[in-house]
């Protein structure tokens, strides 16, 4: 994916997301990580250019955040349809979001570790990546808790628990699953892209 296409998709989706969102405060909370991420990518593009795979994964993660920000994670229409069709108790878009929260950072961490030679050995690096993703997910849950305490009822849509008592634990479990799936499914593809990048 070319740089211009990446920027175009990101920008247009962010603009759409910000037009009459379900809740303005929730929109800001959900999309600010994507905006910060875009700034970081722009700042590091020349000094530490990532593989095309990782850039695409980051864009997908940003799109998930923007859709969740527009509708709130509990009210994404497609997942209402899925809920009703399968007689589910809740809208599970947030679980997709947390799965992606493990799936994408796993490849970002893997790229940094491999290219900077931080950890030797595939098994040890994979173990560290999974631990990092789980820790990152847990830290995000702490942020949600702090925001809820600071803002009270106005953070209800941001939390998106929908009355599910195990929401926090299941969010972390989905991120853990996402990181494992990412390593299992994408490591070979990622290795080929890393090799091509190093030979440029």
What confidence tens digit (pLDDT) does each residue in 3-60 have? 999 999 999 999 999 999 998 988 998 999 999 999 999 999 999 999 999 999 999 9
Residue 196 has a pLDDT of 87
Contact of 69 with 26, CB cutoff 8 Å? yes
The pLDDT-based confidence of 197 (bands split at 50, 70, 90) is: confident
Number of domains the chain contains: 1
Rounded to whole angstroms, the Cα distance separating 164 from 161 reads 6
Exposed / middle / buried, residue 94 (Cβ in 10 Å: 0-12, 13-18, 19+): buried
Q: Which domain holds residue 165?
A: 3-198
Rounded to whole angstroms, the Cα distance separating 70 from 28 reads 9
Contact of 146 with 130, CB cutoff 8 Å? no
Residue 151 has a pLDDT of 76
Q: Assess whether pLDDT exceeds 80 at residue 112.
A: yes
Residue 158 has a pLDDT of 58
The pLDDT-based confidence of 110 (bands split at 50, 70, 90) is: very high
What confidence tens digit (pLDDT) does each residue in 119-147 have? 988 999 999 999 999 999 999 888 888 88
Contact of 61 with 31, CB cutoff 8 Å? no
Rounded to whole angstroms, the Cα distance separating 159 from 157 reads 5
Residues of the chain above pLDDT 90, percent:
74
Residue 25 has a pLDDT of 87
Q: Assess whether pLDDT exceeds 80 at residue 71.
A: yes
Q: Assess whether pLDDT exceeds 70 at residue 97.
A: yes
Q: Is the pTM here over 0.85, yes or no?
A: yes
Rounded to whole angstroms, the Cα distance separating 128 from 144 reads 24
- For the segment 169-177, the average pLDDT, to the nearest whole number, is 94
Map the chain to HEC letters: CCHHHHHHHHHHHHHHHHCCCCCHHHHHHHHHHHHHHHHHHHHHCCCCCCCHHHHHHHHHHHHHHHHHHHHCCCCCHHHHHHHHHCCCCCCCHHHHHHHHHHHHHHHHHHHHHHHHCCCCCHHHHHHHHHHHHHHHHHHHHHHHHHHHHHHHHHHHHHHCCCCCCCHHHHHHHHHHHHHHHHHHHHHHHHHHHHHHHHCC
Residue 89 has a pLDDT of 86
Q: Assess whether pLDDT exceeds 60 at residue 155.
A: no
Residue 154 has a pLDDT of 55
R_g of the chain computed on alpha carbons: 17
Rounded to whole angstroms, the Cα distance separating 142 from 135 reads 11
């Amino acid at each position: 994916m070319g740089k211009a296409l990446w920027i175009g998709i990101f920008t247009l989706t962010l603009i759409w997301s910000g037009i009459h969102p379900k809740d303005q405060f929730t929109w800001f909370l959900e999309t600010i990580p994507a905006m910060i991420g875009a700034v970081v990518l722009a700042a590091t593009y020349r000094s530490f250019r990532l593989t095309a795979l990782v850039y695409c994964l980051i864009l997908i993660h940003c799109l998930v955040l923007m859709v969740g920000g527009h509708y709130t994670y509990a009210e994404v229409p497609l997942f209402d349809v899925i809920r009703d069709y399968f007689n589910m108790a809740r809208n599970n878009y947030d679980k997709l979001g947390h799965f992606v929260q493990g799936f994408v950072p796993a490849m970002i961490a893997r790229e940094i570790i491999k290219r900077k030679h931080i950890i030797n050995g595939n098994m040890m690096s994979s173990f560290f990546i999974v631990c990092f993703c789980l820790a990152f997910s847990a830290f995000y849950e702490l942020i949600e808790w702090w925001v809820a305490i600071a803002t009270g009822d106005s953070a209800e849509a941001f939390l998106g628990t929908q009355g599910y008592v195990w929401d926090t634990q299941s969010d972390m479990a989905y991120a853990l699953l996402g990181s494992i799936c990412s390593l299992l499914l994408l490591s070979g593809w990622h290795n080929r892209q890393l090799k091509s990048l190093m030979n440029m």
